[in-house]
């Protein structure tokens, strides 16, 4: 019976000292007060009363959001800046025995590093150089925490809060800058509008001048064509007259008709050439003879 009890106690103790290490964790084990080993993922058995688990270390990337720190810039402006540090434990043994309270050490190191970097920058540079500050801080913190088994992956400046009066001045400056840009854009718009209007008027005047030019050309071409046709008709008439070999009498009669048409009841006196007068008299005599015959 006593043996059974002893066996039962041994089983209970063994079961109580079985440890399962889960993914992304590591156990730092000490034997008789000294570091013995680091357990990885799997099933492990701890020797009772001889070994103990000194620390359970999380190997996943962790985030430390530190409270705002007062920082003085190169131009003596005090700002409140809070930082966020992304880190990962790479060596559980160094993390356990390298430094006491490693998170406090990282926070203090972050604050002093931030003051040193921002102290060399002016206010405007601090506000516009976040990436530069982040890169410098990450490099310094990563080098400083390497002996502690910590890898600093990223450092971000979360908030930069200048004094209230500086914020008011910056807001006024931003407002003035926005108003200046608005005035410039308005002026550029008016300038472009005036240019477009002027170009439109210019094109309109050019088109009107071209239209007038075309009208004048058409009119001139019409007049020239009319003159050519009149001249052609006259030339054709003269040619036809020449081709018909008219007698002097017919020419004189035509001339007399032309004089009569020229008078047309409006002229009171017409001077008739002598040759035409003779022909006219002959025509009158012929007319009288024909009348007597009738």
How far apart CA 284 and CA 37 sit, in angstroms, is: 161
pLDDT at 286: 46
Cβ atoms 114, 83 nearer than 8 A? yes
Give CA–CA dist 45/39, Å, rounded. Answer: 10
Structure tokens at 49: 């009363």
The answer for residues whose C-beta is within 8 angstroms of residue 256's C-beta and 6 or more apart is 272, 276, 279, 280
Find out whether 135 and 166 touch, Cβ atoms under 8 Å.
no
The DSSP secondary-structure symbol of 70 reads: E
Residue 138: closest CA among 101, 84, 59: 84
Q: 275-284: per-residue pLDDT in tens?
A: 545 554 544 5
d(CA 222, CA 41): 108
Region of poorest pLDDT, from 54-63, 214-223, 259-268: 259-268
Cross-strand partners of 157: 83
d(Cα 96, Cα 22) in Å, to the nearest integer? 19
pLDDT (average), residues 144-169: 87
Q: What pLDDT is stored for residue 57 in this prediction?
A: 93
- Answer whether residue 150 shows pLDDT above 90: yes
- Structural domains of the chain, with CATH: 2-58 (no CATH), 62-162 (3.30.479.30), 248-294 (no CATH)
pLDDT digits (tens, 9 = 90+) for 178-224: 888 888 998 988 888 889 888 888 888 888 888 888 888 888 888 88
Per-residue model confidence (pLDDT) at position 289: 43
The answer to whether the predicted template modeling score (pTM) of the entire model surpasses 0.75 is no
Query: Which residue is it, tokens 């048409």?
Result: 261
Residue 151 reports pLDDT greater than 90: yes
What pLDDT does 149 receive? 92
> Residue 95 — very low, low, confident or very high, per pLDDT cuts 50/70/90?
very high
When the pLDDT of each residue in the chain is averaged and rounded to a whole number, the result is: 81
Mean pLDDT for the stretch of residues 33-38: 91
């Amino acid at each position: 019976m006593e043996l059974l009890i002893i066996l039962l106690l041994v089983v209970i103790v063994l079961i109580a000292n079985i440890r399962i290490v889960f993914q992304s964790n590591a156990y730092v084990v000490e034997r008789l007060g000294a570091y013995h080993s680091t357990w990885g993922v799997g099933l492990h058995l701890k020797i009772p009363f001889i070994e103990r688990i000194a620390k359970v270390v999380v190997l996943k990337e962790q985030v430390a959001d530190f409270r705002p720190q007062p920082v003085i810039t190169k131009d003596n402006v005090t700002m409140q800046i809070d930082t966020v540090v992304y880190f990962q434990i790479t060596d559980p043994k160094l993390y356990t025995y390298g430094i006491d309270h490693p998170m406090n050490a990282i926070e203090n190191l972050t604050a002093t590093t931030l003051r040193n970097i921002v102290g060399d920058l002016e206010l405007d540079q601090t506000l516009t150089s976040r990436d530069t500050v982040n890169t410098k801080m990450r490099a310094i913190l990563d080098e400083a925490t390497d002996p502690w088994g910590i890898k600093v992956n990223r450092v971000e400046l979360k908030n930069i809060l200048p004094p209230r009066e500086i914020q008011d001045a910056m807001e006024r400056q931003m407002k003035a800058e926005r108003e200046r840009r608005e005035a410039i854009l308005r002026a550029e718009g008016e300038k472009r509008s005036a240019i477009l209007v002027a170009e439109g008027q210019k094109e309109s005047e050019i088109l009107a001048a071209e239209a007038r030019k075309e009208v004048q050309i058409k009119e001139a071409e019409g007049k020239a064509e009319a003159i050519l046709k009149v001249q052609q008709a006259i030339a054709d008439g003269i040619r036809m007259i020449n081709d018909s070999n008219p007698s002097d009498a017919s020419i004189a009669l035509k001339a007399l008709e032309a004089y009569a048409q020229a008078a047309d009841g409006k002229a009171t006196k017409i001077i008739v050439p002598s040759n035409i007068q003779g022909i006219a008299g002959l025509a009158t005599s012929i007319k009288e003879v024909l009348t007597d015959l009738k």
